[in-house]
Structure 1
Amino acid sequence: MGFYWIWLGVAIIFAIIEFCTVTFFGLWMAIAALVPAVISYYFPELAVITQLLTWTFSSLICAFIWIKWIRSKPAEHIETVLIGNEGVLADAIKPGQIGTLLLSRPIQGKQEWPCCSDMPLPRQTRVVATAIMDNGIVKVQSSELLKNGVN
């Protein structure tokens, strides 16, 4: 008996998980569940353990592709995407001190970025990324100051 409908259900569950998150990991696992679905559709006599091994193997391949894809972006692409994003400071920071910027959506798989500012900013301040320094630290400025036209 073919279990392709169960694998389709697994793919749908992972797709729903992906809609609730923004990591793209659920999408890759849904794609991986489609592999044993197609195989079990064409070969319904295939053992369940073989289907599970197929899903495990395709999940590992999809996870490997996902990790390679998400880490393969050059730094200049990260800079163009990161600059202008608004986030919240996890810690209060002073000039010359490194803090943590929390973004609402991940960029290159990261929601937390090291940051600095030219002026003291309290914890939970809404900030905007204005530049990325050579050492990978994001320079931030209060979004209120930017709205008021202060650079």
Structure 2
Amino acid sequence: MGFYWIWLGVAAIFAIIEFCTVTFFGLWMAIAALVPAISSYLCPHLSVVMQLLIWALSSLVCAFIWVKWIRSKPIVHIESAIVGSEGILAEALEPGKIGTLLLSRPIQGKQEWMCCSDYSLARQTRVTAIAITENDIVKVRASSSLKEGIK
């Protein structure tokens, strides 16, 4: 029997949902519905229960991939957004230690970032982000506006 047409219809419904919502979740579920469509086309005697099991497993795999993909943070974009940003240290910072940087504007929804410095900096020092490490730790230095004000 032609169950693959039903699965193609399910994939089309999820694709239409994706066009209406633009969340990318419908796209992954449409891809997941294509797996049992192909399976039932290649093996027409596959039972409905087995097709539903294939769809459930492919949906879980696609949902897992979607969650991993949506949560991945491209370091290049974070670095370009954070380097040059100014903030204030929440606590004193010693070389080799990790502190907390409070940014004046949030980046990727976060206003607090872990930070480090090559120099000792007092609490509430205005600092500028100069780099970001692989561990999302922001390297900071005292702001030039602060240094000019001291002179």
Q: What residue is the counterpart of 1:15 in the other structure?
A: 15
Within 5 Å, give how 1:102-117 maps onto structure 2: none
Runs of 4+ in 1 over 2 A off after TM superposition: 74-81, 131-135
Distance in 2 of aligned mates of 1:49 and 1:134: 43
Q: What residue is the counterpart of 1:26 in the other structure?
A: 26
Give CA-to-partner distance per residue, 1:66-101, whole Å, 9 cap, x none. 0000111235525868xxxxxxxxxxxxxxxxxxxx
Provide the secondary structure at the position in 1 that maps to 2:40: helix
Give CA-to-partner distance per residue, 1:33-74, whole Å, 9 cap, x none. 000000000111100000000000000000000000011123
Q: What residue is the counterpart of 1:44 in the other structure?
A: 44
Within 5 Å, give how 1:1-151 maps onto structure 2: 1-74=1-74, 77=77, 131-132=105-106, 136-137=110-111
Distance in 1 of aligned mates of 2:111 and 2:14: 34
**Cα pair 1:14 1:26 within 8 Å, conserved:** yes
Distance in 1 of aligned mates of 2:109 and 2:59: 35
Q: 1:78 to 1:27 in 2, by over 3 A?
A: farther
Provide the secondary structure at the position in 2 that maps to 1:132: strand
- Identity, % of aligned pairs? 70
Q: Which has the larger radius of gyration?
A: 2
Provide the secondary structure at the position in 2 that maps to 1:10: helix
CA RMSD of aligned residues (A): 2.8
The aligned amino acid for 2:111 is I
Q: 1:48 to 1:135 in 2, by over 3 A?
A: closer
Give CA-to-partner distance per residue, 1:73-130, whole Å, 9 cap, x none. 235525868xxxxxxxxxxxxxxxxxxxxxxxxxxxxxxxxxx98xxxxxxxxxxxxx
Distance in 2 of aligned mates of 1:2 and 1:34: 14
